[in-house]
Chain A
Amino acid sequence: MNDIIFKIGGAFLTAILAFTVGMFYAGLRRKITARVQNRVGPPIYQNFLDLLKLQSKRTNVAHGFMGHMAPIWIIIAAMTVLMFIPILQNNLWFENLTLKGDLIFLLYMMVFGSLGMALGAGQTGNPNSAIGVSRGLSQMVGFEIPFVMALVALMLQFKTTSIADLMHFQFTSGHWIILENPFAFLAALLSSLGMFRYSPFDIVGAPAELASGPMSEFGGKYLGTMMTGGAVFAFIKLVLFVDLFLGGAGNNSVEGIMGTGLGLLELLLKTFLFYMIPVFVGLVSPRYRTEQAIQFFWKWPSVFGILAILWALYKNGTLL
């Protein structure tokens, strides 16, 4: 019984945490961008105001059923994925649903949100949306390959498909996977640049080319919902990377609420540091063309992915 209460309460807490941290990170990104660009920039909580404003729009134009469903679909996908990500190690509140094989499940679910977006954008009838969607799907084909290779490498090396097991391994052995299999980390890092869709891989909603791509016809509450989904997804990606490669968080021996606090602090620090990589790369890069982006992913990241698998097999003892 207690277990269920913790699970349900933890789910709510996780959702709130993901939303808040995701939005603050987006605000922080705007602030850091502004500082690099010699400006003062908006306050960090700016994105909350934007969201509130978008939700307070009085009129909303719907473009059919799928147009209506797309933002909801994104939110559903985001929340579902979030529930399968262990936020903190060894914590009753933030363990969430852990099951065998959730790494494979995640691979499928993370595409789910984009799919909803694609269907919704398709119904708006805006040519920019259609082109944006086709670009997005092409780009996804690009970055998914090295990413999957990196994950397969991890699965082979540690003979598990569970994130919690991977976190547990890092906790017990004291070695982070970034050192255990650096090639997998490199492949995943480079494909994460594509996942975040910041420059140079912001080809989906490139303003100078496609207005704002799939989002062109979504305004007001729809846009606000999408923003929320995007913030949660950003948090998911960050936590996933921290869980997989940077040892996860909450590996302290402090008991009770203090332990949870310290764990969250550790999580924030690690995710923030990881988040800065795509942000700073984005600040100094122009945008790739679609085919150049796919070329990029199929070159070095894929090479790293293959190396990661070989490395995993070597470590495993299967190779040689």
Chain B
Amino acid sequence: MSEKNTIGIPTVEEIKQAQIDFSPRCTAAGRVNDKETQKMVDYILNFARKHSLFVLAYGTGCGAIEIPATMTSRYDAERFGIRGAATPRQADILMITGYLSTKTLKRVIRVYEQMQDPKYVIAFGSCTINGGMYFDSYNTIKALDRYLPVDVYIAGCMPRPESVIRGFVKLQELIQKGNAGNGECYRENLDWYRENQQKVIKNWDFPENYNW
């Protein structure tokens, strides 16, 4: 394939110019309790956390069409303790169902910051990973983890309900190990995230501090 593609995929140099670092690696501090005596407590709490996942009812993109199917009778996600939550205060999981337009990103960040720790983000669909088919769109972000800490990615467009459930199970495994929930990490690296977010969101009118 020496000839240029009809779509005109950008060259390596073009991409590298716009390139910034990977999202920051989170320290485990604040998530895993290192006291021996706390191990049992952590185990029990993580067990409860992993079996009780409230997903925020926010269909941010077209992936929201497979959520009803996942929640209803054939796939029945409620048997894993997954259920919907109406407001961000009550929710544990922010599910980014597909691409995010910059207008939605602003709302999503607000929603994420209103959620209570420990909170998890599931990115759903190829377009959250690398832009997917919207790689040349002027209005959608290309990599979600620049703007929000992501716990689990579910690839596909659209991911089938089976893979959605697989994603949830993966998250449950991470929670049991104490490796999920990046709220503290987000707060730690708030400057880095804010810098990225402000690059995309032009009219920045958020509260100064992270104090929801």
Chain A contacts to B: CB under 8 angstroms: 30, 34, 37-43, 46, 49-50, 52-54, 56-61, 205, 207, 211-212, 215-220, 223
Contact = CB atoms under 8 A, between A and B. Distances in A.
Interface string B111-129: 0001111100000000000
A263 to B, nearest CB: 33
A127 to B, nearest CB: 12
B76 A216 contact: no
Given A216-B86, A219-B89, A52 B45 contact: yes
B89 A49 contact: no
B89 A42 contact: no
5 contacts: A30-B78, A50-B81, A53-B51, A61-B212, A219-B116
Nearest to A217: B89
Contacts of B44: 52
Given A39-B78, A46-B81, A211-B86, A220 B116 contact: yes
B73 A38 contact: yes
Contacts of A217: 87, 89
The list of the 10 closest CB pairs from A to B, nearest first, reads: A219-B89, A52-B48, A38-B73, A58-B117, A53-B52, A212-B86, A39-B76, A211-B86, A59-B117, A56-B45
Nearest to A216: B87
A38 B116 CA distance: 33
Nearest to A54: B52
A29 to B, nearest CB: 13
Contacts of A220: 89, 116
Interface string B82-124: 0110111111100000000000000000000011111000000
Contact of B78 (A42, A57, A60, A223): A42
Does more than half of chain A's interface fall in helix, strand or loop, or is it mixed? loop
Contacts of B87: 211-212, 215-217, 219
Given A34-B78, A60-B116, A207 B52 contact: no
B78 A215 contact: no
Given A41-B79, A216-B86, A217-B89, A57 B116 contact: yes
Contacts of A34: 76, 78-79
B183 interface: yes
B114 to A, nearest CB: 8
- Which of B79, B81, B90 has its CB near the most chain A CB atoms (within 10 A)? B90
A52 B81 CA distance: 13
A215 B44 CA distance: 27
A42 B81 contact: yes
Given A59-B116, A61-B116, A212-B90, A49 B51 contact: yes
A43 B72 CA distance: 16
A54 B81 CA distance: 13
Contacts, number: 92
Contacts of A39: 72-73, 76, 78-79
Nearest to B80: A42
A223 B52 contact: no
A207 B86 contact: yes
B49 interface: yes
A52 B46 CA distance: 10
A41 B76 contact: yes
A43 B82 CA distance: 12
A50 B49 CA distance: 8
Interface string B24-53: 000000000000000000001101110110
Contacts of B116: 57-61, 219-220
Nearest to B114: A61
B52 to A, nearest CB: 4
Given A56-B49, A57-B117, A60-B116, A49 B81 contact: yes
Contact of A42 (B45, B79, B91, B92): B79
Given A42-B81, A49-B81, A218 B89 contact: yes
B113 to A, nearest CB: 10
Contacts of A212: 86-87, 90
B90 A223 contact: yes
Nearest to B84: A207
Given A57-B117, A61-B116, A40 B79 contact: yes
Nearest to B118: A58
Contacts of B73: 37-39
A41 B79 CA distance: 5
Contacts of B78: 30, 34, 39-42
A121 B84 CA distance: 21
Contacts of A42: 78-81, 83
Contacts of A52: 44-45, 48, 52
A251 to B, nearest CB: 39
Given A34-B76, A39-B73, A49 B52 contact: yes
Contacts of A49: 47-48, 51-52, 81
A296 B51 CA distance: 39
